[in-house]
Structure formats: structure tokens, C-alpha cells
Chain A
């Protein structure tokens, strides 16, 4: 058999090729193909808000930085979810409610410390007035998580569905009680209670723009701090999981729970630690993101979705997967909101959520266990 061998695609490679082509097209679109809308209005499929990265590198860089810094906050929240899920196979549906509660607790403490009432100018907040709320809110939520785990989940171990239902019930109760009790410190009566939107403030020194000397971009220092905190949490988790004894036990527990406990390890203690820490990370993420944006009743669902997408995409129960999932999701979210064609008022940036759905669908079509998850 001589002659030219034409490579033949089998059934598995074809869809992969299609996906590859779609990804290449998306990159090419953002980098080269897109155009700025004409001054006369209207547009076609090439029209986007900022045009291509070549046209407008500054806007591209800003969206890029928005994505990567948002991924930092996203990772902090989702890593807690992934930690709990990876070790205990518990889908903590109350993660979003923990996030919300942590954010409101931190808000109350910051208000009490600064004594300013509703909106505090960032310049009047010093570093301690940001760190102390964090250091109070995170342990508070760790305790709430611990109570949930010890009181309700521990004796239902192995019944995954039942545990998920229990955490849903707890999230319903917490979310309703938040509406009844928060926020307390507000300037007007109308804003009091009812879970109305409030925001924390970053410390004053972060309230400036950094000149990047690239395409004239000035970028918020606070958002870089957010990214830095995300990386710090990632590094700390890595050191904890790969360089300490508790971490070794946790990884062993992820691999084989029964064998680990048969070897004389107190797996219940490890579970309690992991659940408390995972819950505290939800509060940590809430403090970070509520300083950047705000916190309001109803965001529990949004952050539960964020955590779910990150974990589904990145791989069930892998911290590294959570990092990759957070980055992918943040990029898809930010770029689809700005780089989808903007032809008219009805098209197409409002369809950005569909791209998120497509991301999940694509990943699950090829790897039901997520990008870095292990089968089974």
C-alpha cells in the first residue's frame, strides 16, 4: 500500500475539530475581525462596541484585565465550593447564602468601625477597617458552615441527594432571614432591612489608577488587589493541600475516603476543617466582591450559579480545575458581554448568557467530569 495517506477523522475527532474551529474563530473575531460601529449607526455582524483588539488595544486590555481580576474573586468563592465538594461529595447549595451572609456581616462591621452611615467614601477607610470585617465575617461563616456540617450533614454521609436537599433548605432559611435582618446600618429608613443593596469599601490606598504604560491604559488598583488576593488564596490552598499533613490527609480523603479512615486518620475532623474553611472562603469572596461591586438579596442565586459553573467546567472537586474554570468563565462572561456583535438594540450582546451555556455544554459534551475532574 503505497501512496498518499489521507488522514481520516473518526467520529470522536470531528466534533473536536468543530469546537477547535469555533474557538479559533472567536479569537480571530475579537483580535482582528471585529469593527467599531459606524458613526451613522446600524451595523453588521462585524460591529462590536470596541472594535477588534488591533483597532482598540486599550479597550481590549481593559476587558482582559476585567476578566482576569474578576476571575480572582470568582476563584476565592468557587474554591471553597470545590474544596467541600471534592472532599465530601457534598454539593453545598447554601454556598450562595453563606456568601451573602458573610458580605452583610462584613458590611455591618465596617459601618460600625467607620461610623459613617450608608455610603462611606473609600478615602476614609483605612486598611484595618477593611481587614477586620474580613477577619470577623470569615470565621462567623466558618462557624455557620461547621454547624451545618456537624448538625445536619454529618449523620447523612454518603446520601448525596439528601445532603444537597438539606443545604437547599438551609439556604432558603438563611436567605429569608437575611431579608428580615440586613442591612441594619443605612442612612435612610427605606434602605433598612429587606436585603437592599449595599457595598463595602476598599481601603483608601487602593482608590487610584495604575498607569500601565500600554496603550495609555489606566487601571484600578483595587481590581489588581482583588486579583492578588485570588492568587494568594490559590497559593495558600496549594501550600496547605500539598505541603502540610492536613493537606495530605485531605487529598487522601478525596482519593479514597474509606481507605483513609481505615488507616486510622480521623476523617471526621478533616471533614469539619474543610467544610469550615470552604464556607469561610465564601465569606472572603463576598468581602472582596462586595467592595468592588455591591451585595444585595438575590445574589445568593447568582453566586451559587457562579460557583456551579466554575466547578462544572473546571472539574468536580479539583482546586486547580477551579482556577482554570474561574478564568474561563470570567473571560467568557466579560468578553461575550462586550465583544458580541452590537447590530441594534436587540442584538446581540444581550444574548451573552447563551455563551456561558455554550461553554458548559461544550465542556460536558467532551468531558462529563469537567476539564480537570477525574471520572467516577
Chain B
């Protein structure tokens, strides 16, 4: 057992090995992959993974499945768009185009989104389970209509050209997409580490207590709605990071980026990855974006599709995949892996004796 000096179980070893390999590949990204992969698929994976991670955090550690994460993602983007862009010749025509310093705008966009998240959370905090899902869905749809109706801040066409206004310490993202690639990668790793850290703090432990036994925690003197609200605020903070990266990446934000199909897409990402484990967020985002990019060119027999003008066969295919994942493996791809490993351990050649000390050792 010399090889197992770190006392990781075989499963943890495999997972960490795969994770480290993925991280090394990602760090070498622009060198290893072609431009399309690095600057489109992978950046998108990183940033949607962050949004999905905020959803999974709430679900896995707070027991709340939130559909408001897409709305918060959009709110952050719209606030940044309003504050940072400039009007006038060559500027944007929509929004308030206040032309603030992008760094200030960035901080305020994240802070305001977090505050809005806390407010949303406070209203929904006394509801749980399916009610929470319904209430957060109304947040999402209301945000879409708000952005569509209020021409002062957005309007239906949204705000464009936001990626021209990046902070000086970041520089030109359009000319140097590799910068955005590494910013997104660092943000994704930061999100992952932060969530892993937060769930081990006293707050995180209490939150898990609230998830499992709200009544008991309440009678022990913990403020259950407050913990849920704070968790929601934290998730809003993460979603705002994702929203900021999105507008830097695509340059624009519109109500169409936060509408019901997009809300469902984020849920699909989280469910494909697995609602129980944070790692699933990026796995799900990667799988989703690959499907999104490559399924469009196929057509399937026996099913009618809207044609390329209407998004092709993509939505039906993603709907069927989503349905299959929910029916077969509620834990998503991470759940399939967990179960596959458990099955191998039970029926396969693995020796239980080698397993036991490793698990008790930690």
C-alpha cells in the first residue's frame, strides 16, 4: 500500500487524477485545442459551468433547486452593460450607457446582483422543495419581461458591444481572446474552490443541517430562513461572475439570454452533470455545449424539426436527452459514474479488504 500514501480511496484517486488531467489540459488549452474549441466551446463551458455550479451548490448543499440563476446571470450582465458602456458616436445606443470606469462597474454589477439575489432569497426562503422551484421560476420569467419592457435599461434587443469596455488591468478581450480564456478558467477554478471551502465553514455545515432537518435546526436555535437567504445570496454572487464573463465573451445581453428556454438550458446543464456534485457543473456544461454545437447539423428520422431557422433539431434532442437522464440517472453523469464505481466494487474483482482501510483512514 505504499502507492496510497495520501490515503485516498481508489475512487477519489481516479477522480482527482481525471480532474488534474483536465485542469492541465485546460491550462494548456489554447496550445492544445484549435481556436474554435478554445475560444468558443471551452470559454462557454467554463462560464456556463460557473452558473450551473451556483445552481448545484444550492441544490446539493441547500436542498433548493433554483431556476433564478439564469435571471441573476442576466441581471449582472445588464447592470454591467448599463454602467460600463458609453453612448455617443461609436458607442451603444441602448441602455443608460453611463460610461463608468469598467472596474467600478464590474464591482457594482457583482454587488448589486448579490443584493438582488439576497432579496429574491429572502422572499422565497420560507418555501421549500417544489414551491421554491415555482417561485424562482417566476423570478426568472419576471426578469425576462422586465428587461423586455423597460427600454430604459435594456428593451427587447438588449445591450451590445459591452466587451469593448473592459477594465484596464484586463485589456482588450476582443483582440486577445486567450486572456478571456484564462480569466474564465481562473474564475471557474476559483468558483469550485470557493464552494468547496464554503461548504466546510460553520455556515456551510449549518446549511447542510438546514437542508436535511429544517425543523430540528430551527428548534436548536438556528435561523433557517436566514441561512437559506444567505446561501441564495452566495449563489447569486457566483451567477453574477458567470454573467459578467458572458457579456465579455459574447459582447451582448438581451432578454432572450434569460428567457424560459435559456433558464431550462441551465437546468439541463446542471441535471446532465448531476445535481448532487459540484464537479458535475462543468461536465454538464461541456456535454451540453458539445451537443449544442454538433447536433444542429444532424436531422433525425421520424421526428419533425423546425429547420435551421428555428434552432434545428437541437431542442427536441436536448429535451429527449434531458428526459432520459432524469428517468435513468437522477444524479446525472456524475451519478452514473458513482453508481458504476459502486457496482464494480460490489460485483467486480476489487477486493473489499483493500477498500476498507482506505475509507476509514480518511
Contacts and interface: CB of A to CB of B under 8 A. Distances in A.
Interface in B113-150: 123-124, 126-127, 129-131, 133-135, 137-139, 141-142, 144-146, 149-150
Interface string A341-361: 000011000111110110011
Given A161-B65, A304-B260, A357-B142, A368 B131 contact: yes
B320 to A, nearest CB: 6
A180 B149 contact: no
Contact of B330 (A162, A181, A364, A365): A162
Interface string A158-171: 01111011101111
A177 B310 CA distance: 11
A301 B260 contact: yes
Interface stretch (B20-28, B216-224, B321-329): B321-329
Interface stretch (A35-43, A49-57, A197-205, A306-314): A306-314
A12 to B, nearest CB: 14
Contacts of A327: none
A368 B228 CA distance: 14
Interface in B290-332: 303-307, 309-311, 315-316, 318-320, 322-323, 326-327, 330
Given A172-B322, A360-B138, 10 more contacts: A164-B133, A172-B261, A176-B316, A194-B310, A195-B306, A305-B138, A308-B137, A308-B138, A352-B149, A357-B142
A310 to B, nearest CB: 11
B138 A169 contact: no
A92 B139 CA distance: 18
Interface of A: 89, 91, 93, 152, 159-162, 164-166, 168-173, 175-177, 179-181, 193-195, 300-302, 304-305, 308-309, 311-312, 316, 345-346, 350-354, 356-357, 360-361, 364-365, 368
A177 B150 CA distance: 31
Contact of A162 (B142, B149, B326): B326
B340 interface: no
A351 B330 contact: no
B336 to A, nearest CB: 16
Chain A CB within 10 Å — which of B126, B305, B323 has the most?
B323
Q: Which 3 A-B pairs have the closest CB atoms?
A: A301-B260, A172-B319, A176-B315
9 contacts: A152-B327, A161-B65, A181-B304, A194-B309, A195-B310, A353-B145, A360-B123, A364-B124, A364-B135
Chain B CB within 10 Å — which of A164, A304, A361 has the most?
A164
B138 A312 contact: yes
Contacts of A164: 130, 133
B306 A166 contact: no
B44 interface: no
Interface residues of B, number: 47
A301 B259 contact: yes
Interface in B149-171: 149-152
Contacts of A311: 134
Interface of B: 65, 123-124, 126-127, 129-131, 133-135, 137-139, 141-142, 144-146, 149-152, 259-261, 264, 267, 271, 303-307, 309-311, 315-316, 318-320, 322-323, 326-327, 330
A68 to B, nearest CB: 22
Nearest to B133: A164
A308 B138 CA distance: 7
A176 B138 contact: no
B316 A177 contact: yes
Contacts of B146: 351, 353-354, 357
A364 B139 CA distance: 13
A173 B320 contact: yes
A89 to B, nearest CB: 7
Contacts of B124: 364
A195 B139 CA distance: 26
B319 A165 contact: no
Given A301-B141, A316-B131, A364-B127, A176 B264 contact: no
Contacts of B330: 159, 162
A177 B323 contact: no
A365 B123 contact: yes
Contacts of B141: 301-302, 304-305, 308
A170 B137 CA distance: 17
A310 B312 CA distance: 34
A172 B271 CA distance: 15
A168 B267 contact: yes
A165 B326 contact: yes
Given A176-B305, A180-B304, A91 B126 contact: no
B134 A169 contact: no
B241 to A, nearest CB: 24
Contacts of B261: 172, 175, 301
A357 B260 CA distance: 17
B305 A360 contact: no
Nearest to B315: A176
A351 B149 contact: yes
Given A164-B133, A350-B150, A368-B126, A172 B326 contact: no
Contact of B127 (A152, A302, A368): A368
B319 A169 contact: yes
A172 B315 contact: yes
Contacts of A300: 260
A172 B127 contact: no
Contact of B138 (A309, A345, A352): A309
Contacts of B259: 301
A259 to B, nearest CB: 21
Given A91-B130, A305-B138, A360-B138, A350 B149 contact: yes
Chain B CB within 10 Å — which of A89, A152, A301, A308 has the most?
A301
Nearest to A301: B260
Contact of A361 (B123, B152, B319, B322): B123
Chain A CB within 10 Å — which of B135, B144, B259, B260 has the most?
B260
Given A301-B259, A351-B149, A172 B318 contact: yes
A350 B330 CA distance: 41
Contacts of B150: 350-351
